[in-house]
Amino acid sequence: MKPPRARRGGGRPTIADVARLAGVGAITVSRALREPERVSESLRQQIQRAVDELDYVPDPNARALASARAEVFGVLVPSLTNNVFAEVVRGVYDSLSDTHFRVQLGNTHYSAVEEVRLLQLFLSQRLGARMDPRSQRRLAGYRAAMEAARLFDPDLITTTPVPSSVTLGSDLFRGALAKMPSLDGVFCNNDDLALGVLFECHRASIAVPDRIGICGFNDFDMMQIAYPSVTSVRTHRYEIGRQAVVMAREAIAGMRLKNPIVDIGFELKLRDSTNRL
Amino acid sequence: MKPPRARRGGGRPTIADVARLAGVGAITVSRALREPERVSESLRQQIQRAVDELDYVPDPNARALASARAEVFGVLVPSLTNNVFAEVVRGVYDSLSDTHFRVQLGNTHYSAVEEVRLLQLFLSQRLGARMDPRSQRRLAGYRAAMEAARLFDPDLITTTPVPSSVTLGSDLFRGALAKMPSLDGVFCNNDDLALGVLFECHRASIAVPDRIGICGFNDFDMMQIAYPSVTSVRTHRYEIGRQAVVMAREAIAGMRLKNPIVDIGFELKLRDSTNRL
DNA sequence: CTGAAAGCGCTAACAG
DNA sequence: CTGTTAGCGCTTTCAG
């Protein structure tokens, strides 16, 4: 018979410690914590006291390993510095705050296969406004509306693989105006660009909205207070994150999703930048 | 003797499967994956082939449980929608991208004690500009500089518990100007406020910088392209995230940090908004 | 309602 | 350089 090996684990109390102190089996502690209603009132209190005294906190890794369930929400976003995605993440995060789920950012390490797939996905989404599927669909919507109004002219559209920014908005607008001096309105794929256009108008003393109308997309808070205030399309980003969590949890619970695709809607915020009197 | 229980685990291949296929011990597979140099070339290849064939991916939970090391970087930020913190997170994330570390956001579930502590920390940091320690230190710096120049006047300072925003900048500026019509410069605690001031100036036809000079803090990209461009203080947010990771990893590796406090520095970006000719 | 035993998948320790 | 053994801390299964 060999001597027992030295214990490896850190000093943290384990479920066994709690069980011993409470004078019950480990599994009862486990149950008391996860399904309190399945444990008698008295034992539950006894256990709670032991938990408090030892300051016991379950180990999520052991739990995940034993139950084969992770309680981790992976969130994959193309860009962390983009406010749009930051708000989606916040929606996800808040929706999970009352659960034991952890939020993990863009983990491509989980699966080698996923890693490649996601990497490609990432790459395919950040190379620029033109390739981003969301941008493409906005463009399609713009086109459809313009065609319906018999105003569509492909030459009026500018796309670029350069990442969107306020600076880019200024630059593109300057170029567009040079090519088409009679230009009298700009619909920007997002608010950054719209702000860039606005600043460029100030710089060049171009009256907004009288000479040039401006409309952005996303409706960041700033658009409302800009001078003049800028018309934009408000998307419900936070709600997207929230809904995503709701649906994911339903799916996890084995429920079949009634509406695998939810239309979160949007709002057109009409402001001064397009309000020609 | 009882019959063996049915296996529970999901269908995913385990390290034992790989070991069997490669004709080696499980621990050798483990080593081949984590410390390839400690395994002979030939076995390593054999193992790699088995890994590929089975599409084996190590279970991070089991790994964490067995090694008592987590490979998870917890990141706690006061606000996800604040660009400053988003960039810090990005710095953290990028610095970790070539490792197996996972990034986990503001996990307060890890420890009940921590949860309370962090919650309080969070609450204490987002209630408004005045309570934020960073803001306080900026204010202290401003005060020191003004006193050195014998220009300090407490009445010129406006603080508020309202969360910072562009709108707030407009509002505060309007109020300050009403109280002190001779006001000729504004140093804002952050760029949002500065932009609000700028827009308000446009709105009220106040010349910038001739009538009012404006300086922000953080130096978001927008400040450079705003009209007029806005002077600001650039902080190295991404670098903060990166450094934090470096230091954390050194600490994990058991190294004693030479400089537990690193001065990342800053840059004053002088622009048109304070450039009175 | 409670518990004992048997793993979950992996790695540290201890031998070769 | 490789393998054997004994857990990591929790939960599932099976049995009261």
Closest residue (Cα, C1') to C2: A28
Distance CA A250, CA B244 (A): 37
Instruction: Tell me which residues of chain B, numbers 88 to 147, contact chain A at a CB-CB cutoff of 8 Å.
Output: 89-90, 93, 100, 102-107, 109-113
According to CATH, where is 3.40.50.2300 located in chain B? 68-128, 133-236+266-274
pLDDT tens digit string along A136-147?
Answer: 888 899 999 999
- Residue range B144-198, pLDDT digits in tens: 999 999 999 988 888 887 778 899 999 999 999 999 999 999 999 999 999 999 9
A65 interfacial to chain B (CB closer than 8 Å) = yes
Given an 8 Å threshold on Cβ–Cβ distance, is B109 in contact with A222? no
Q: Give ranges for CATH 1.10.260 in chain A.
A: 15-58
The mean of the pLDDT values for chain A is 83
* Domain at B133-236+266-274: CATH architecture: 3-Layer(aba) Sandwich (3.40)
Sequence-ordered strand ranges (E) for chain A: 72-75, 102-105, 185-187, 213-215, 232-235, 266-269
**How far does B171 lie from chain A, in Å, by closest CA?**
10
Q: Do B221 and A167 touch (CB under 8 A)?
A: yes
* Distance separating alpha carbons of residues B60 and A92, to the nearest angstrom: 23
- Spell out the residues 6+ positions from residue A82 whose beta carbon is closer than 8 angstroms to its own: none
The pLDDT of residue A80: 66
Enter the CATH code of domain B15-58.
1.10.260
In this predicted structure, what is the pLDDT of residue B47?
Answer: 94
Which chain A residues contact residue B224 at CB under 8 A? 167
Closest residue in B to A93 (Cα) is: B105
Burial label, B154 (beta-carbon count in 10 A; 0-12, 13-18, 19+): exposed
The domain made up of B68-128 is a member of CATH 3.40.710.10:
no
Nearest chain B residue to A229 by CA: give it: B199
Taking a C-beta distance cutoff of 8 angstroms, is the pair B231, B195 a contact? no
Asked if pLDDT for residue B65 goes beyond 60, the answer is yes
Note whether A206 contacts B: Cβ–Cβ < 8 A.
no
Q: Do B105 and A103 touch (CB under 8 A)?
A: yes
**B121 or B4, which is more confident:** B121
How far apart are alpha carbons A246 and A263 in whole angstroms? Answer: 14
